[in-house]
Amino acid sequence: MAKGLRWGRTWTVLAVLAALTLPLCVGCSQKNTKMETSIFAMDTVMDLTFYGVDPEAALKGVQEELVAGLYSLEEKLSTTKETSELYALNEQGQASLSPETAELLTQALELCALTHGALDITAYPAVRAWGFTTGSYRVPDQAELEQLAAGIDYTQLEVDEQEGTARIPQGMAVDLGAVTKGYAGDRLAQQLEQVNITSALLDLGQSTIRVVGSKPDGSPWRIAVQDPAGEGYLGVIELTDLAVGTSGGYQRFFEQDGETYWHILDPDTAAPARSGLTSVTVVGPSGLVCDGLSTALFVMGLEEGAQFWRSHPELEVELLFVTEDRTLYITPGMEEMFSLGQGYEDREVQVLQ
Ligand code: ADP
Ligand code: MG
């Protein structure tokens, strides 16, 4: 073969390669800017982190919109702010609802029904009676608890999503504390996706997390799971584009006469749920479902909770239960994402089938 021809072909190959790689190189020269902010909303510290290639001013605008979105949800859903929609519903027995609140209430009610009332958003009078809303803790006596339990019944709450209205009988009250942070994570993720941001870690506090895409380097996000009985981390869940919700007795509690009372109540007794679990972690595509289910499964306990998971594959959730004897029970999908943390390597892990 003539030398000139060989060189000609080599140049052609190089030119084609250069043409192919050029757009990629333009992409990789765009620097990812990290945007990070911490705010206090919904009674929790929330940390929002995302990465984008747009100019910093544009990313700052996105960040401001996320924060504004959270505050606006809090304005509507707070049980203590006198101007909120839920406050009006609880005080007057009826209220007009914004589309967001109507949507959230409707979805929360569906989850109450699905869990046969283990999640019950009308538990609020009981939550209040124990002092979990104010921090003025007290232990109601048996007669009071019975009365409170009789007043917990989500089927009495009527929501008309089309009309944007809700009604509740006198004396009953609604609290979306078990689902709001998960729902907020879903909303923020949608906001980010609309502006083509594909890498975010939204920590809504109390172990309610939503991740968008993967880390900027393409690897999955790593979310630590707290040891419900100690200071350390039981392990790490690696995930992409999913939500995480954890509920545990260690998150909000008080002690009296050697007994610990926590903020997750069993709607049947109006008292802290004692099902033999110390925490439940739920991973899935919907933050609202993960948040609400973690509360409901904590109430149900291991056996009923595992049965619920078997009966509801459509929810696409994976679970991690921690029992009082410190054993971990995980679903097979969770096993693929989860690894034990340092110092916890010999913890017993049972895989649920
Ligand atoms: P956190 O808000 O700490 O993340 P959860 O998501 O488990 O924890 O929600 C607990 C909150 O939900 C409580 O603070 C209370 O307001 C409310 N709540 C407690 N028990 C129930 C229940 N069985 N069903 C619905 N809401 C509940
Ligand atoms: Mg919850």
Residue with tokens 């979990």, as numbered in its chain? 132
> Among 137, 167, 197, where does a domain finish?
167
Q: Is residue 214 part of a domain?
A: yes
| 156 and 189 fall within a common domain | no
Identify the burial level of 191 via C-beta atoms within 10 angstroms of its C-beta, where 0-12 means exposed, 13-18 middle and 19 or more buried.
Answer: middle
Please give the backbone phi and psi of residue 325, each rounded to the nearest 5 degrees, phi first.
-85, 15
- Looking at residue 16, the DSSP 8-state letter turns out to be H
Pocket lining: 282 vs ligand 1, CB cutoff 6 Å? no
Neighbours of 80 (CB within 10 A): 11
Q: What is the pLDDT of residue 23?
A: 43
> Among 167, 198, 229, where does a domain finish?
167
Closest ligand 1 atom to 182 CA: 6
User: Which CATH number fits the domain that encloses residue 91?
Assistant: 1.10.3980.10
pTM: 0.91
Q: Is residue 33 part of a domain?
A: yes
Neighbours of 38 (CB within 10 A): 10
| 288 and 190 fall within a common domain | yes
For 312, residues 6+ apart whose C-beta sits below 8 A from its C-beta are 114
Q: Which domain holds residue 31?
A: 14-68+179-351
| 216 and 264 fall within a common domain | yes
Pocket lining: 178 vs ligand 1, CB cutoff 6 Å? yes
pLDDT above 60: residue 3: no
pLDDT above 90: residue 176: yes
Q: Are 225 and 215 in contact (CB under 8 A)?
A: no
Helix (H, G, I), strand (E, B) or coil at 114: helix
CA distance 19 to 275: 63
Q: Is residue 6 part of a domain?
A: no
Q: Are 154 and 264 in contact (CB under 8 A)?
A: no
Closest ligand 1 atom to 299 CA: 23
Closest ligand 1 atom to 248 CA: 7
Q: Is residue 295 part of a domain?
A: yes
| 51 and 102 fall within a common domain | no
pLDDT above 80: residue 15: no
> Among 167, 198, 218, where does a domain finish?
167
| 145 and 203 fall within a common domain | no
Pocket lining: 290 vs ligand 1, CB cutoff 6 Å? no
CA distance 47 to 352: 33
| 61 and 89 fall within a common domain | no
Q: Is residue 192 part of a domain?
A: yes
Burial readout 9-25 (b: 16 or more C-beta within 10 A, e: otherwise): eeeeeeeeeeeeeeeee
CA distance 346 to 340: 9
pLDDT above 50: residue 27: no
User: For the chain, what is the mean pLDDT?
Assistant: 93
Q: Are 187 and 41 in contact (CB under 8 A)?
A: no
Q: Is residue 3 part of a domain?
A: no
Q: What is the pLDDT of residue 267?
A: 98
Ligand 2 centroid to Cα of residue 305, in Å, is 14
- Domains held by the chain: number: 2
| 301 and 220 fall within a common domain | yes
Pocket lining: 275 vs ligand 1, CB cutoff 6 Å? no
| 64 and 81 fall within a common domain | no
- Looking at residue 239, the DSSP 8-state letter turns out to be E
Q: What is the pLDDT of residue 10?
A: 55
**Model pLDDT for residues 289-303, shown as the tens digit of each residue:** 999 999 999 999 999
Pocket lining: 79 vs ligand 1, CB cutoff 6 Å? no
For 308, residues 6+ apart whose C-beta sits below 8 A from its C-beta are 115, 296, 297, 300
Question: What single letter denotes the amino acid at residue 163?
Answer: E
**Model pLDDT for residues 230-282, shown as the tens digit of each residue:** 889 999 999 999 999 999 998 899 999 999 999 999 999 999 999 999 999 99
Q: Is residue 1 part of a domain?
A: no
> Cα–Cα distances in Å, from 317 out to 85, 113, 230, 287?
31, 17, 26, 10
| 115 and 191 fall within a common domain | no
